A and B are shown apart, each in its own frame.
Chain A
């Protein structure tokens, strides 16, 4: 059976070059970077090199501004809780958008129980944040703006450069969650005036088990874990040296290949969307049309009158790996807060499938999906009571023309 992997926003294969770079740090150069003998110094050297590679990847001023965590969720927790704690005397108000990743939203919810307040600015029907809404939400108590570069579900690219300029003008820290875009779109901490910026290499051909947090030297941060001096005391605990080395290698390769990678994916993304749209009636694209406002590798589609999990399972049986944000698939059983925020009908949100392309996908694979997916939708619609009612003219489609 054909195998087509279209879930690169969940995980990517580790590149052979990245694995090769990591390999010595398991059984040969296994020292603890805090040790003062040659084994330790070797590991410490490797961390320094990875820090430089990451600093170059995001255009940081200095490698000293790069912190390593266990993953991007931990990096987001450290960014939000650490910035809130360290800047408490300046205020207690945090601004973020309604469609941020749960690691940001839940971190601010936790802070709300400790005397902080939060404003969640709305987004438009494509998931875009309006700069005016952020400007209007800033008060003298505001200490932090937290916004993602691109949305993890619907691929909207946010105006981070403009938001960063606003943050600078108003003297507020600016945290960019770049987890969904790192490796697919260029990141520029300096140009965006980011105080903090996070991502993890597992979404762009690096290993799992490592996250990156950029901390501008002027941005104060407090630790959320305690008990060690590693990462300037901001992330105590022995460093995951092989994964950090892998993160550096993956970032260096991504930096070289990024234009080619995103152009390749954008071409396939357009082909996939146009192919599916032409073959499936009542199909909705969630988020912006493929183009400059959308992540080049992701599609988020809702097939009306059917649910997401069945589509995912039938895809899997045809060798096609996709994701769904639908409530019954995810462990939480809650509908996607992102789709709700952009006004997607709840039943349509349940029929949601996310396809995320990668550098190794081919036109042939995309054509196989274009040929197979409509059959899956048709099979499930044949079981659906709402599809039958729609076919009889008893109910109308809720999809509005874009």
Chain B
């Protein structure tokens, strides 16, 4: 018989079996949640932000292997990113870093970028309002 075929590639399996950065950041600067409407998949992401960059990211996920692996690799990818870069972070980067996902599982990777955006929004809300340099005077 031919070798046993696998549902996912080795990178996805590695991140599912040994997820990185599981948990919650202590005294997080931003916490975001994303959930799928189908009554299940939920992702929570918490961030520590220092000097305009993501210093630490942690996650907890209720979801399939693709959702868990996507969350795990996303936390690795975003650490060290500027807030600007993090805002533009998309699930395409997640899928690419994982070396691809089965077509039906692409949407399971969406939660990672959605939870990140929610965490960044939460961070922004917590920041005291201050005038940005170069803003016109009213």
A314 to B65, CA, bound (A): 10
Contact B40 A313 (CB under 8 A): no
Question: CB of B60 within 8 A of chain A?
Answer: yes
Take A327-B40, A333-B104, A385-B44 as given contacts and tell me if A309 and B19 are in contact as well, using a CB distance cutoff of 8 Å: no
Total A-B Cβ pairs within 8 A: 73
Complex interface residues of chain A between 360 and 402 (CB less than 8 A to chain B): 382-388
Residue of B nearest to A317 (CB): B17
A contact residues around B24 at 8 Å (CB): 388
Q: Smallest distance from the beta carbon of B70 to chain A beta carbons, Å?
A: 12
Residue of B nearest to A351 (CB): B40
A contact residues around B43 at 8 Å (CB): 385
Take A310-B68, A313-B7, A331-B104 as given contacts and tell me if A385 and B60 are in contact as well, using a CB distance cutoff of 8 Å: yes
Q: Smallest distance from the beta carbon of B89 to chain A beta carbons, Å?
A: 20
Q: Smallest distance from the beta carbon of A336 to chain B beta carbons, Å?
A: 11
Question: CB of A177 within 8 A of chain B?
Answer: no
Q: Smallest distance from the beta carbon of B45 to chain A beta carbons, Å?
A: 10
> Mask for B99-138, Cβ within 8 A of A = 1, else 0?
0000011001000000000000000000000000000000
Contact A383 B40 (CB under 8 A): no
CB within 8 A of B42: which of A314, A335, A385?
A385
Q: Smallest distance from the beta carbon of A383 to chain B beta carbons, Å?
A: 6
Count of interface residues, chain A, beta-carbon cutoff 8 Å: 28
A contact residues around B104 at 8 Å (CB): 331, 333
Q: Which of A309, A314, A349, A383 has the most CB of B within 10 A?
A: A383
Count of interface residues, chain B, beta-carbon cutoff 8 Å: 26
Contact A329 B64 (CB under 8 A): yes
Contact B44 A327 (CB under 8 A): no
A382 to B68, CA, bound (A): 12
> Mask for A337-371, Cβ within 8 A of B = 1, else 0?
00000000111011000000000000000000000
A305 to B62, CA, bound (A): 7
A327 to B7, CA, bound (A): 16
Contact B63 A328 (CB under 8 A): yes
Contact B61 A385 (CB under 8 A): yes
A387 to B24, CA, bound (A): 13
A309 to B61, CA, bound (A): 13
Contact A307 B16 (CB under 8 A): no
Contact B41 A307 (CB under 8 A): yes
Contact A310 B64 (CB under 8 A): yes
Q: Smallest distance from the beta carbon of A351 to chain B beta carbons, Å?
A: 8
Contact B64 A306 (CB under 8 A): no
Question: CB of B38 within 8 A of chain A?
Answer: yes
CB within 8 A of B63: which of A307, A331, A333?
A307
Contact A346 B33 (CB under 8 A): no
Take A327-B38, A346-B38, A350-B40 as given contacts and tell me if A385 and B22 are in contact as well, using a CB distance cutoff of 8 Å: no
Contact B60 A335 (CB under 8 A): no
Contact B39 A347 (CB under 8 A): yes
A57 to B95, CA, bound (A): 52
B contact residues around A335 at 8 Å (CB): 38-39
B contact residues around A349 at 8 Å (CB): 39
Take A333-B104, A349-B39 as given contacts and tell me if A328 and B60 are in contact as well, using a CB distance cutoff of 8 Å: no
CB within 8 A of A310: which of B38, B39, B42, B65?
B65
Residue of A nearest to B71 (CB): A383
Complex interface residues of chain B between 25 and 74 (CB less than 8 A to chain A): 33, 38-44, 60-68
Take A328-B108, A385-B62 as given contacts and tell me if A313 and B16 are in contact as well, using a CB distance cutoff of 8 Å: yes
A71 to B108, CA, bound (A): 33
B contact residues around A306 at 8 Å (CB): 62
Q: Smallest distance from the beta carbon of A342 to chain B beta carbons, Å?
A: 15
> Mask for A278-305, Cβ within 8 A of B = 1, else 0?
0000000000000000000000000001
Contact A307 B22 (CB under 8 A): no
A327 to B68, CA, bound (A): 16
Residue of A nearest to B63 (CB): A307
Contact A307 B60 (CB under 8 A): no
A contact residues around B39 at 8 Å (CB): 335, 345-347, 349-350
Contact A388 B64 (CB under 8 A): no
A11 to B42, CA, bound (A): 33
Q: Smallest distance from the beta carbon of B44 to chain A beta carbons, Å?
A: 4
Residue of B nearest to A308 (CB): B64
Beyond A328-B108, A347-B39, A383-B22, 18 additional pairs, beta carbon < 8 A: A307-B40, A307-B41, A309-B64, A310-B68, A313-B7, A327-B38, A327-B40, A328-B105, A333-B38, A346-B39, A346-B40, A347-B40, A349-B39, A350-B39, A383-B60, A383-B68, A384-B62, A385-B60
| Interchain residue pairs A-B with the least CB separation, the first 4 | A346-B39, A350-B40, A385-B60, A309-B64
11 contacts between A and B (CB under 8 A): A308-B64, A310-B16, A310-B65, A326-B64, A328-B64, A329-B64, A335-B39, A350-B41, A385-B42, A385-B44, A385-B60
